[in-house]
Amino acid sequence: MKRKKTRKIMIGDVPVGGNSSISIQSMTNTETKDIANTVKQIQRLEAAGCDIIRAAVTDLDDAEAIKKIKEQITIPFIADIQYDYKLAIAAVEKGADCLRLNPGNIGSRAKVMEVVNVCKERQIPIRIGVNSGSIKKEYLEKYKGVNEDSMVYSALEHVRILEDLNFENIKISLKASNVPLTIKSYEKMSQKVDYPLHLGVTEAGPIWRGTVKSAVGIGALLSMGIGDTIRISLTGDPVEEVKVGREILRSLGLLEEGIEVISCPTCGRTKIELINLVEEAEKRLEGINKPLKVAIMGCPVNGPGEAREADIGIAGGQGEGLIFKKGKVIKKVKEEFLIDELINEIETL
C-alpha cells in the first residue's frame, strides 16, 4: 500500500515519518519517579518490540528520574507534560527524547518560547496531541460540537503557535474513543499538513474490546496510507499494547519480523485439540524472531491446501497430525509431539 509521504523527524535514534518504518509506542503505568519499577516495565516493553516509550512527568521528581531511567533502557523516552512549562524544560534537560505537550496550554508566549528554545538547542521534537474530550470551547461552539473540524482546527492552533516561533520539529495526534471520529479527524489532518501523524484510538477500553476498536480505527487509517507511528491504548499490561500493535502492522504487511500464526476456526471435522495446540504454539513461538508464517490447522482439508502460503504448518488428524512446508507434507507425528516437532523444524529454517 502507498503511504502518504510526511516529513521525517527523529525521536532519539528512531526515525518517524518520511520513508521510515511505522514505529510502535506504549506508555508506562508506573510512577515515573519509581525508577526501578519503571525501568523494569520499559525493559519488558522493549523485549516485546516497543520502539518508543512515553511516561507521565507530573513533578520535578519524575523529571529528575529521566536521567537514571535512560541509563538503563535502549529505546527513546517521551516525557508527557500537562500545563507546566518548567517540567517540560526539566524533562528535556534530563534527557527526554521528545515532549508530548500542547503549547497553547502552558501559558504565555514567553513560556512557550523557553520550551521551544531548549528543544531547538537539543533537537527535541514536540508531539501535539488533541483528544476529543479536551477541545477548546471556542472550537466546540464554532464547529457545533465534537467532530473532525473541531478536533483538527484545535490541533492546528497549537501547531501555529510553534510555527510562529520557527519550530517545525512536530508530530500530531488526534485521538477519540469513537472510531469513525478518529478516522475522519486523521483523514482531514493528513490533507492539511505534512507533519508525521501518531495514530491511536484513545480510551479504547479493556484488552479484548480495545483491541477490536484499535484494529478497526488504526488499521483503517494505515490501509489508507495514513500514519507514521502508533500506540494502542488498552486498560491492562502495556505489553499487550505492543503485541496488538505489532499484529496490526503484520496483518497489513507493514511489519515483516517475527512469526505470524494463522489457524482455522475449527469445525466438526476437527479431531485434534486444536485450541490447546494453538495456545501452546503461540507461547513457544513468542521468543523466535524469524519472519515466518506458521499455520496450525484442524484437518487435512484446511491444512496443506488452504494454508499452502504458510512457510510451515500443522494439519490435524485423529490423535496425530501432518507437518508441512510450503504446502508439502514432510512428516506424520503423534498429537502429543506435534508442537515439539514444529518448533524443531522452525529452528532449522
- pLDDT at residue 179 greater than cutoff 90: yes
CATH number assigned to the domain comprising residue 282: 3.30.413.10
**Residue 96's CATH number:** 3.20.20.20
At 172, the pLDDT band (50, 70, 90 cuts) reads very high
Write down the mean pLDDT value for the chain.
Answer: 90
pLDDT tens-digit series, residues 246-266: 999 999 999 887 788 888 887
Same domain membership, residue 288 and residue 237? no
Residues 126 and 233 in one domain: yes
278 and 245, same structural domain? no
Higher-scoring residue by pLDDT: 263, 22? 22
In the Cβ-directed half-sphere of 278, how many Cα atoms lie within 13 Å? Answer: 17
Section 111-116 average pLDDT? 94
**What is the model's pLDDT at position 301?**
66
Is the backbone of residue 171 left (phi > 0), alpha (psi -120 to 50) or beta?
beta
Domain residues for 322?
Answer: 260-348
Residue 297 — left, alpha, or beta (φ > 0 → left; ψ -120 to 50 → alpha)? Answer: beta
% of the chain beyond a pLDDT of 90: 61
Last residue of a domain, one of 209, 228, 251: 251
**Res 345: pLDDT:** 87
User: What gap in Å lies between CA 207 and CA 210, rounded to an integer?
Assistant: 5
Considering the domain architecture, whether residues 126 and 177 belong to the same structural domain is answered as: yes
Q: Show the cell assigned to 9.
A: 523527524
Q: What is the tens place of the pLDDT at every residue in 189-203? A: 999 999 999 999 987
Is residue 3 domain-resident? no
Backbone φ and ψ for 179, nearest 5 degrees, come out as -65, -50
Overall number of domains in the chain? 2
How large is the average pLDDT for residues 135-141?
87
Establish if 322 belongs to a structural domain: yes
Give domain status of residue 1, yes or no.
Answer: no
d(CA 190, CA 186) in angstroms, rounded, equals: 6
- 3-class secondary structure, 87: helix
The one-letter amino acid code at 17 reads G
Residue 323's pLDDT is what? Answer: 87
User: For 235, phi and psi rounded to 5 degrees?
Assistant: -85, 105
pLDDT value at 209 more than 80: yes
* pLDDT grade for 121, boundaries at 50, 70 and 90: very high
Distance, CA of 221 to CA of 201 (rounded, Å) = 11
Tell whether 243 and 272 lie within a shared domain.
no
Answer yes or no: is 207 within a domain.
yes
Q: What is the pLDDT of residue 262?
A: 83
Both 167 and 274 in one domain: the answer is no
Establish if 4 belongs to a structural domain.
no
Which of 25-29, 268-272, 321-325 has the highest average model confidence (pLDDT)?
25-29
Mean pLDDT over residues 308-320, rounded? 82
Contact 6, 18 (CB under 8 A): yes
Q: Verify that 159 and 305 share a domain, yes or no.
A: no
- Signed CA dihedral, 233, 235, 238, 240: sign only: negative
**Average pLDDT score over residue span 328-337:** 86
pLDDT for 198 equals 97
Instruction: Judge if 51 and 140 occupy the same domain.
Output: yes
Residues 221 and 112 in one domain: yes
User: Could you tell me the pTM of the whole model?
Assistant: 0.88
Cell of 92: 528535556
Q: What is the pLDDT of residues 287-312, one digit of tens each?
A: 777 888 888 888 766 666 666 678 88
Q: Are residues 217 and 235 in the same domain?
A: yes
